[in-house]
Chains A and B, each alone.
Chain A
Amino acid sequence: MKIIENEKNTSTIYLNDINETNKSEYEILNKDITIKDDYFFSIFTNILNRKRNSHEHFVYYEVSNSYHINPIQINNIEFRYNKEKWLNIKMNRDRLFSENIITQLKNFSKLEDNWDSYGASKISWSTIVNAIEFFMKIVDKYPNSPIPFISPYPDGRINVEWQKFSKELHHLIPKDKSNYFIYRMINRKEGALKDYYDKAIGIDDMLKIFSIWYSDDQF
């Protein structure tokens, strides 16, 4: 990571050692993050990955709109960001998909315990962050992918249902992205039902499953 001090108390941080090399630029302005590119999301999730993989990187967020997310700090640099701003930024990219998904995830984050009247757990921020990372990776790779239906799952996971003609893919998004995704692939072509259940370990594995489902006519 390289930090360049600019005029007027601003700094630009280049996260060249993380993915998205040329695009990963954003700016800290008066300790509020100003995003300069649409790839903030992937940077953000990569930052979270680093936090999980290494003890020396600790990341800190202080949220200005009195909404607190887990404290995180990277290389002793303080980041402050506003939840609404963060969410809005993602809305600028692949707008239709993101707007729909982000709005729903935003609503899920407001659910309280017992939202289903049968003792459901609220949806944790880690699940929401995993969900956003997963969906953004799909949009990156498949810009024309359908918009999924998502619903909160009573143990704090998120349930996703994709539909493409006669095919459906249902799966759960776990709280911890290294954990497994349970999925179900369905094909109802010409009245015959093909139904397949399995587990995918982690986001990348689930992306492969999505890719098979999306591209393969048989599934």
Chain B
Amino acid sequence: MINFESEYIEECIPDNDFLYRRAFYKTFNQKTGKFTASAFKLKSFKSKGKNKKGFSANWNKYSTPEKTSIDPISNKKFCVGEFKAIIPRKVDLNVNHTPSNYNQSHCTISAEKLLEDIDIYKAEESIAENCIPIYFPNETIKS
């Protein structure tokens, strides 16, 4: 499928491919060794005129944990977690490759319909539980 807003082609992301997500260091629970649901907040956004809930991640086919860790706007470094594409799909979320000219790896994890607050929390908890923290920039380890 061609995305007219991007020079890159949208591809299907296989279930077993990994997605990277930036996470603020205060969302990492050292006792459990996991990020909390806070790192996977499904936020409201509009897509093709429809209201949706979702969040962004980077596909490992075109990105690395190091690249993902840097916020492209502020250039600040964040922690990074990885999870398989099948994890959000198991809780009825869509995982779509949505590349932009600036980020070929960009993908969107979103709900087909508007979910209740409790269902959103369930989905976030499920991703948090199955996400493996893989990257911690030096400055976050110190703090």
Contact = CB atoms under 8 A, between A and B. Distances in A.
Contact of B38 (A153, A168, A182, A184): A153
A163 B31 contact: yes
A20 to B, nearest CB: 33
B61 interface: no
A57 interface: no
Contacts of B10: none
B41 A154 contact: yes
A178 interface: no
A44 to B, nearest CB: 25
Contact of B121 (A107, A115, A120, A197): A197
B76 interface: yes
Contacts of A149: 29-32, 36
A197 B118 contact: yes
A152 B118 contact: no
Contacts of B31: 149, 163
Contacts, number: 76
A117 B22 contact: yes
A108 B121 CA distance: 21
A118 B22 contact: yes
Contacts of B122: 184, 197
16 contacts: A116-B23, A116-B24, A116-B27, A116-B41, A149-B36, A151-B38, A152-B24, A154-B43, A155-B43, A159-B27, A161-B29, A170-B36, A172-B121, A184-B121, A197-B118, A197-B122
Given A107-B26, A116-B38, A155-B41, 20 more contacts: A116-B22, A116-B39, A117-B24, A118-B22, A149-B31, A149-B32, A152-B24, A152-B38, A154-B38, A154-B41, A154-B43, A159-B27, A159-B36, A163-B31, A163-B32, A170-B36, A170-B125, A172-B121, A184-B121, A184-B125
